[in-house]
Amino acid sequence: MRRSALLLATAMLASPVGAQGISPGAAIAMGQAALEQGKVAAEAAKNAAKKFEEITEKGQDFPSEAECLSVLQSAANATRLVVNIMPFSSVQTLEDERGPVLRYRLLLNGEKHVGQVYCQGSKLTGEQAEWVNGSTLSDNSPASTIDAAMGVFALSYLRGDFGSKSTEEGRGVEDKGALSNSPPPESAPPASSSRPLTSGEKDAVRVAVQSCWSAGSLSSEAQRVIVTVGVNMTQSGTPEGGSIRMIGYEGGSEGAARQAFEAARRAILRCGSKGLPLPEGGYEQWRSLQFVFTSENMRLK
């Protein structure tokens, strides 16, 4: 919820006068804020329904079961946001032999969406169902719109989805060990070999990072982007988090490229936190690396 709309709503609830004491100017401002928030919420609802359909049709792979379950938790909170503003919609979370399961029943501008999603190991999958009149889902853990939004934010924060410098200390485990500062060039030991990385060494690095790379959660436009990412490495083979940068991109808008870059950054940090399989010698040859990411794979330049 936008801060302006939240403050206005809070003021109304806290005031003993309530709506009766609101001036015409304040009422207009509230209406404009509500309209703007309504547009954002409607777009979020459409995106949620579309994403559920994609997941139930072909699934979505993640690097680990833990990350899959984290996304499932975020989906549960996001669906509650939709349910809280869309009448005749409902959501339910439960756990059975499959593990945590999210069931949804959404009515969006007359369109009916019914189904369930869950994790099969590291793959998020599910099934669609028919809308049955007279049935509904009993939410065993209801949450207010603000609480649900806070849940989405908290899980994204723990996953390290925020790339600004001000949140580097709050990133998840993926950043631990990866944010070390590189020593100045003059303090680096002389390279034991001046040869470039062999194709086998490049392939070993590619395989290591590839295991953390997944474009399944990106928008359709971002999946079409080819993004080149640069990173400085420490002598121990771990990436410097603050040095990861977008060198260039092609095949989409700047916003789509930024989304693809953030996913690539997380992949480098996650799989590089314990060190990439780089040769012990020749630090000068791999102290700065460039990766090319596409929706299907990635490679080391």
Q: Profile the chain (301 residues) by mean pLDDT over runs of 10 residues.
A: 38 39 50 55 64 76 82 81 81 89 86 89 88 80 59 56 42 44 44 70 90 87 94 93 93 92 92 90 90 90 85
> 118 in a domain, yes or no?
yes
What is the Cα–Cα distance from 287 to 236, expressed in whole angstroms? 10
> 205 in a domain, yes or no?
yes
What is the Cα–Cα distance from 275 to 124, expressed in whole angstroms? 28
What is the Cα–Cα distance from 44 to 182, expressed in whole angstroms? 41
> 21 in a domain, yes or no?
no
Q: Output the pLDDT for position 87.
A: 85
Same structural domain, 61 and 107? yes
Domain total in the chain: 2
Same structural domain, 216 and 109? no
> 170 in a domain, yes or no?
no
Same structural domain, 296 and 208? yes
Q: Output the pLDDT for position 26.
A: 52
Q: What is this structure's pTM?
A: 0.42
Same structural domain, 63 and 143? yes
> 15 in a domain, yes or no?
no
Q: Output the pLDDT for position 54.
A: 76
Q: Output the pLDDT for position 76.
A: 81
What is the Cα–Cα distance from 262 to 246, expressed in whole angstroms? 9
> 201 in a domain, yes or no?
yes
Domain region containing 150? 3-7+47-159
Same structural domain, 152 and 203? no
> 165 in a domain, yes or no?
no
Q: Output the pLDDT for position 234.
A: 93
CB 141 within 8 A of CB 73: no
Same structural domain, 85 and 121? yes
Would you call 266 exposed, middle or buried from its count of C-beta atoms within 10 A (0-12, 13-18, 19+)? buried
Pairing of strands 298-300, 99-108: unpaired
What does residue 139 show for φ and ψ, rounded to 5 degrees?
-75, 115
Same structural domain, 294 and 249? yes
Q: Output the pLDDT for position 144.
A: 63
